[in-house]
Amino acid sequence: MAFARWHTDFARWEKSPGSPVCQVDLDVDRFLHARLSALLPDAGWLSEETADHPDRLACGRVWVVDPIDGTRDYIRGRAGWCISVALIDHGHPVIAVLDAPARGEVWRAAAGRGATLAGAAVHAGTRAVFPGSRVPVDALPKADRELVAVEKPNSIALRIAMVAADRADLVATLRWGNEWDIAAAVLIASEAGARVSDALGAPLMFNKADPRAYGVLVSAPGIHDAAVHHLAARARAAIG
């Protein structure tokens, strides 16, 4: 549905300054809600494009969905977007799909069963030295000049998946982010052998009353501790 309407004329606007949305986001959201709720009628629902309801907190299982992650790229006709779907079971993602039709990529993972891209197993890299680590960014700040910039899709989920497939070594954000942005991608990364945490190195949990976390840090396992140390001062300063 999203791919068929990509590069066509559709309504688009900003929910808030710098936060674009389009009619396709809403249509995909309704489609997924209907299909996934039919699969698991007892599961709760948390989506970027659906008003949140506290009823989900009483559910053991919850669908966490971003109908188009990377809407800015979708609107601009760029390929760096995907549909992100995760099933959360008592706070932990257990099933994940990232569908990126503009890139010809479908990523899947199930807890304890590994992660795949186009049906083939993916594995995070074995990098053990922090300097020279590949990071999907537009430009590196002076404090990160020891790192190496690589392709950056607008979708944070796709950037995390790059670590799962050894296309990047590190993805880190230093801001409050929403569960629907990362739920599917962090399962794919962890099942591929990457290490996953918030920006301060703490474990991530999902289906919280406030469905946010301070940053996400996904990396090749051998550099995760160094990455947390490298970002710690900035992270603590940002959250006070």
Residue 218 buriedness (CB in 10 A; 0-12 / 13-18 / 19+)? buried
User: How far is 4 from 150, CA to CA, in rounded Å?
Assistant: 29
Bridge-based pairing of strands 92-100 and 105-110 is antiparallel
Q: Is 52 annotated as a binding residue?
A: no
89 annotated among ligand-binding-site residues: no
Interatomic CA distance for residues 106 and 100, integer angstroms = 6
**104 phi-psi bin (left φ>0, alpha ψ -120 to 50, beta other):** left
Is 181 flagged in the annotation as binding?
A: yes
**69 appears as a binding residue in the annotation:** yes
Query: CB-based contacts of 32: which residues, under 8 Å, 6+ apart?
Result: 47, 63, 65, 67, 83, 85
Q: Where are the beta strands (DSSP E) in the chain?
A: 12-16, 19-22, 44-47, 61-69, 82-89, 92-100, 105-110, 115-117, 120-121, 134-136, 148-150, 170-172, 176-178, 195-197, 212-214, 217-219
Beta-bridged to residue 196, according to DSSP, are 218
Q: Which residues are annotated as a binding site for Mg(2+)?
A: 48, 66, 68-69, 181
**What residues are designated binding site?**
48, 66, 68-69, 181
